[in-house]
């Protein structure tokens, strides 16, 4: 599937009408979601792989993975309203995509309690602004259950995050920057959209000391 097609498909999926700001429910825009998953695809981390989408929300990252040939996608999300929309979006995917898709399964519950195992983790976790350290908690879980991790973070914590990875036997191997638009849903946000700088990190498990490049 071409990038533009993927972007359009993802942008047309349903979003949450009334996102919960305390849970930092920021839907990844279609173009950014497409770029993230294509980035992973070109590194051999999507096609034929088992993917876990942590904090899946309405499902864009996992759905892009299915469209790019994932073998199986687990969507982990705890918000019932998000899961309802995710179900609608998966129905749209089944109806509208004219290709054979991998399997998928929704895990309704807290990311921090999941006992899954996958090849690749994709996540746009809460940035940890409202609930402190939530981004780090998501990361540690991702390092427990996957071998390659793609995670979106607010810019400015590169060294800290790299160290969290090293402590968990993962190496931060690549990054890409994006401007992430957040719709003005707080009263404190005067503009309609605010752009925040975010970075996508790719982490890989170190299998023994010799693979680490310190
Ligand atoms: N991945 C989606 C949504 C990102 S917003 C996208 O890229 O569009 C982060 C999501 O994580 C929200 O849907 C929120 O409800 C969910 N979330 C936050 N904390 C969670 C937790 N502890 N367990 C499960 N889901 C959680």
Please provide the average confidence, as pLDDT, over all residues in the chain: 92
- The pLDDT tens digits of the residues spanning 63-82 come to 999 999 999 999 999 999 99
Ligand 1 close to Cβ of residue 135 (< 6 A): no
Q: DSSP code of 43?
A: T
Out of 10-14, 17-21, 90-94, 176-180, least confident range:
17-21
Chain center to CA of 63: 11
How many A from CA of 214 to the centre of ligand 1?
32
| The pLDDT value given to residue 18 | 82
- The pLDDT tens digits of the residues spanning 134-144 come to 999 999 999 99
Q: 154-173 as b/e, with b when 16 or more CB fall inside 10 Å?
A: eeebeeebbebbeebebbbe
Give dist(CA 52, CA 105) in Å, integer. 10
Ligand 1 close to Cβ of residue 83 (< 6 A): no
Rounded to whole angstroms, what are the CA distances from 157 to 45, 118, 161, 168?
25, 26, 6, 17
| The pLDDT value given to residue 185 | 56
Tell whether the model's pLDDT for residue 212 goes beyond 70.
no
Tell whether the model's pLDDT for residue 43 goes beyond 90.
yes
Q: Can you spell out the DSSP letters for 122-164? A: EE----STTTTTHHHHHHHHHHHH-SEEEEEEETT-HHHHHHH
To test the ligand 1 pocket, which listed residue (27, 75, 77) has its Cβ within 8 A of the most ligand atoms?
77
- The pLDDT tens digits of the residues spanning 89-146 come to 999 999 999 899 999 999 999 999 999 999 999 999 998 777 789 999 999 999 999 9
Tell whether the model's pLDDT for residue 148 goes beyond 90.
yes
CATH code for position 176: 3.40.50.150
Q: DSSP code of 29?
A: P
In this structure, are residues 61 and 27 in contact, taking their beta carbons and an 8 Å threshold? no
User: Domain limits at 65?
Assistant: 3-211
Rounded to whole angstroms, what are the CA distances from 211 to 42, 63, 169?
22, 32, 10
Q: Of residues 100 and 192, which shows the higher confidence score?
A: 100
Total domain count, the chain: 1
Q: Of residues 153 and 192, which shows the higher confidence score?
A: 153
Nearest CA to ligand 1 atom 5: 25
Tell whether the model's pLDDT for residue 16 goes beyond 60.
yes
Length of the chain: 214
Residue 214's pLDDT band (cuts 50, 70, 90): very low
- The pLDDT tens digits of the residues spanning 154-191 come to 999 999 999 999 999 999 999 999 999 887 655 555 55
Nearest CA to ligand 1 atom 1: 56
How many A from CA of 54 to the centre of ligand 1?
7
How many A from CA of 112 to the centre of ligand 1?
11
């Amino acid at each position: 599937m071409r990038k533009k097609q993927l972007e359009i498909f993802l942008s047309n999926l349903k979003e949450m009408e009334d996102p919960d700001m305390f849970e930092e429910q920021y839907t990844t825009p279609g173009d950014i979601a497409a770029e993230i998953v294509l980035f992973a695809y070109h590194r051999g981390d999507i096609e034929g792989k088992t993917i876990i989408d942590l904090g899946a929300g309405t499902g864009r990252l996992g759905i892009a993975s299915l469209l790019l040939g994932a073998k199986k996608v687990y969507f982990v999300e705890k918000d019932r309203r998000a899961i309802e929309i995710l179900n609608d979006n998966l129905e749209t995917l089944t109806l509208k995509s004219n290709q054979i898709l991998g399997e998928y399964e929704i895990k309704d519950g807290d990311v921090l309690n999941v006992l899954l195992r996958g090849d690749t983790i994709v996540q746009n976790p809460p940035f940890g602004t409202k609930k402190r350290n939530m981004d780090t908690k998501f990361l540690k879980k991702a390092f427990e259950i996957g071998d390659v991790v793609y995670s979106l973070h607010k810019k400015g914590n590169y060294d800290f995050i790299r160290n969290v990875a090293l402590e968990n036997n993962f190496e931060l191997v690549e990054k890409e920057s994006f401007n992430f638009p957040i719709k003005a849903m707080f009263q404190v946000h005067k503009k309609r959209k605010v752009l925040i700088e975010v970075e996508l990190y790719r982490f890989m498990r170190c299998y023994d000391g010799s693979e680490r490049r310190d």
